[in-house]
Amino acid sequence: MTRRILAGAALFAAVAVAFGFLLLPIVAIFARVSPGTLVSQLSQPVVTDALVLSLKTSAIAQALVLLFGTPAAYVLATRSFRGRSLAIVLVELPLVLPPAVAGIGLLAAFGRLGLLGSTLDAFGVQLGLTQAAVVIAVAYVSSPLYIRQAIAAFEEVDPNLVAASRTLGAGRARTFFRVVLPLARRGLAAGEALAFARGLGEFGATIMFAGSVQGVTQTLPLAIYAEFALNFTTALAMSALLVVVSGALLVALRLTLQWQPSRPTSRFLFAPSR
Partner 1 sequence: MATLQADFTLPLRAFALELELEVSRTVALVGPSGAGKTSVLRVVAGLMAPRRGRVSLDGERWLDTECGVSLPPERRSVGLVFQDYALFPHLSVRGNIAFGAGGRPVDALLERFRFGHLASAHPQELSGGERQRVALARALARDPAVLLLDEPLAALDAHTKAEVRHELAELLRELALPVLLVTHDYEDAAALADEVGVLVEGGLRQLGTPAELVARPQDAFVASFTGANLLRGHARRGAGALTAIRLETGEDLYSADEAEGDVGVVVYPWEVSVARTHAADADSALNVVRGHVGSLVEVANRVRVRVGPLTAEVTAASAERLELEAGGIAYATFKATGTRLVPL
Out of 169, 229, 258, 270, the only residue in the binding site for partner 1 (CB under 8 A) is: 169
- Residue 156 found at the interface with partner 1 (CB under 8 A): no
Q: Which of 20, 71, 158, 244 binds partner 1 (CB under 8 A)?
A: 158
Binding mask 173-212 for partner 1 (x = CB under 8 A): -----xx--xx-----------------------------
Distance of CA 170 to the CA centre of its chain: 34
Q: Which CA distances in Å does 219 have to 103, 104, 200?
A: 15, 19, 8
Backbone φ and ψ of 229, nearest 5°: -85, -30
- Please say which residue, 181 or 243, places its beta carbon nearer to partner 1: 181
* Among the residue ranges 85-93, 109-117, 158-166, 239-247, the one whose residues contact partner 1 (CB under 8 A): 158-166
| DSSP-assigned letter for residue 272 | P
Rounded (5°) CA angle 59-214-120? 65
CB-wise, 27 or 257, nearer to partner 1? 257
**CA neighbor of 44 nearest in space, from 212, 205, 176, 233:** 233
Quick check: 195 and 201 in contact, CB under 8 A? Answer: no
Residues contacting residue 53 through CB under 8 Å, at least 6 positions apart: 131, 134, 215, 216, 217, 218, 219
**Only segment of 106-114, 165-173, 189-197, 200-208 that touches partner 1 (CB under 8 A):** 165-173
The piece of 10-18, 66-74, 164-172, 231-239 that touches partner 1 (CB under 8 A) is 164-172
166 binds partner 1 (CB under 8 A): yes
Nearer to partner 1, 166 or 198 (CB): 166
